[in-house]
Chains A and B, each alone.
Chain A
Amino acid sequence: MDYFAQQLINGIVLGSIYGLIAIGYTMVYGIVGMINFAHGDIFMIGGFIALITFLILVSFGLTAIPLILLIVLLVSMAITALYGWTVERIAYRPLRHSFRLAPMLSAIGMSFVLTNFSQISQGARVKPIPPVITGGHSLLESNGFVVRLSNAQIIVVLTTIVLLGLFTWLVSRTRLGRDMRACEQDQTMAALLGVDVDRTISMTFVIGAALAAVAGMMYLLYYGLVDFYMGFVAGIKAFTAAVLGGIGSLPGAMLGGLLIGLIETMWSAYFSVEYKDVAAFSILIVVLIFLPTGLLGRPEVEKV
Chain B
Amino acid sequence: MDSRVTVAAPELTQASRREAIIFILKKAVISALVALLLFSLMIGIRTEAGPTGQLIYWTRFDDLATIVAVVFVGSIVIELLRQWWGPAPIATAIPPSVQRALGIAGKALPPVLLIFALLVPIVFYDQRYVIDTGIQVLTYVMLGWGLNVVVGLAGLLDLGYVAFYAVGSYSYALLATNFGLSFWVCLPLAGILAACWGVMLGFPVLRLRGDYLAIVTLAFGEIIRLVLVNWQSLTGGPNGVSGIPRPSFFGIPFTRDDDGFAARLGIDFSPTHRIVFLFYVILALALLTNWVTIRLRSLPIGRAWEALREDEVASRALGINITTTKLTAFAIGAMFGGFAGAFFATRQGFISPESFTFQESALVLAIVVLGGMGSQLGVALAALTLIGGFELFRGFDQYRMLVFGMAMVLLMIWRPRGLVGHRAPTVFLKQNTAISSELAREGRG
**Residue A112 is within 8 A (CB to CB) of chain B in the complex:** yes
B41–A52 touching, CB < 8 Å: yes
Q: Which residues of B contact A278 (CB under 8 A)?
A: 223, 226-227, 230
Q: Which of B182-190, B294-302, B346-354, B359-367 contacts A (4 or more CB under 8 A)?
A: B359-367
Rounded to whole Å, the gap between the CB of B397 and the closest CB of chain A is: 11
Rounded to whole Å, the gap between the CB of A207 and the closest CB of chain B is: 18
Q: Which of B44-52, B91-99, B118-126, B428-436 contacts A (4 or more CB under 8 A)?
A: B44-52
B220–A109 touching, CB < 8 Å: no
CB nearest neighbor in A for B414 = A94
A289–B207 touching, CB < 8 Å: yes
**Residue A125 is within 8 A (CB to CB) of chain B in the complex:** yes
| Given A123-B46, A127-B49, A278-B227, A285:B220 Cβ within 8 A | yes
Name the one of A99, A109, A117, A236 contacting B222, with C-beta atoms under 8 angstroms.
A236
A109–B408 touching, CB < 8 Å: yes
Query: Which chain A residues in 39-68 approach chain B with CB under 8 Å?
Result: 45, 48-49, 51-53, 55-56, 59
A49 to B47, CA, bound (A): 11
CB nearest neighbor in B for A90 = B409
A110 to B411, CA, bound (A): 12
What does DSSP make chain B's interface, helix, strand, loop or mixed?
A: helix
**Residue A239 is within 8 A (CB to CB) of chain B in the complex:** yes
Q: Mark A112-144, 1 if CB is under 8 A from B, else 0.
A: 111111111111011111100000000000000
**Residue A82 is within 8 A (CB to CB) of chain B in the complex:** yes
**Residue B55 is within 8 A (CB to CB) of chain A in the complex:** yes
A304 to B315, CA, bound (A): 12
A127–B412 touching, CB < 8 Å: no
A128–B42 touching, CB < 8 Å: no
Q: Which residues of A contact B219 (CB under 8 A)?
A: 236, 240, 281-282, 284-285
Q: Which residues of A contact B362 (CB under 8 A)?
A: 108, 112
Name the one of B42, B53, B404, B417 contacting A112, with C-beta atoms under 8 angstroms.
B404
Q: Give the size range of A's interface with the partner.
A: 35 or more
**Residue B113 is within 8 A (CB to CB) of chain A in the complex:** no
A179 to B18, CA, bound (A): 36
B413–A94 touching, CB < 8 Å: yes
Rounded to whole Å, the gap between the CB of B393 and the closest CB of chain A is: 13
| Given A82-B38, A288-B212, A232:B358 Cβ within 8 A | yes
B42–A45 touching, CB < 8 Å: yes
A123–B216 touching, CB < 8 Å: no
Q: Give the size range of B's interface with the partner.
A: 35 or more
B401–A115 touching, CB < 8 Å: yes
| Given A48-B42, A49-B41, A112-B404, A101:B47 Cβ within 8 A | no
A127–B212 touching, CB < 8 Å: no
Q: Which residues of B contact A105 (CB under 8 A)?
A: 365-366, 369, 408, 412
A109 to B208, CA, bound (A): 23
A26 to B156, CA, bound (A): 23
Q: Which residues of B contact A53 (CB under 8 A)?
A: 41
Q: Which residues of B contact A82 (CB under 8 A)?
A: 34, 37-38
| Given A99-B442, A275-B226, A79:B38 Cβ within 8 A | yes
- Which of A59, A110, A122 is packed against the most chain B CB atoms within 10 Å? A122
- Which of B211, B313, B399, B417 is packed against the most chain A CB atoms within 10 Å? B211
B409–A110 touching, CB < 8 Å: yes
A128–B49 touching, CB < 8 Å: yes
Known: A34-B211, A104-B211, A110-B405. 16 other contacts (CB 8 A): A99-B416, A105-B369, A106-B412, A106-B413, A108-B405, A113-B402, A115-B405, A120-B402, A122-B46, A123-B48, A126-B49, A275-B230, A277-B222, A278-B223, A284-B215, A289-B205
Chain A residues with a Cβ under 8 A of chain B: 34-35, 45, 48-49, 51-53, 55-56, 59, 79, 82-83, 86, 90-91, 94-95, 98-106, 108-123, 125-130, 232, 236, 239-240, 243, 274-275, 277-278, 281-282, 284-285, 288-289, 292, 302, 304
> What are 21 A-B residue pairs whose CB atoms fall within 8 Å in the complex?
A52-B47, A55-B47, A79-B37, A82-B38, A95-B412, A104-B157, A106-B412, A108-B408, A109-B407, A110-B409, A112-B408, A114-B405, A122-B47, A125-B49, A127-B47, A127-B49, A236-B222, A282-B219, A284-B219, A285-B205, A288-B208
The 3 closest A-B pairs by CB, nearest first: A109-B408, A112-B405, A113-B405
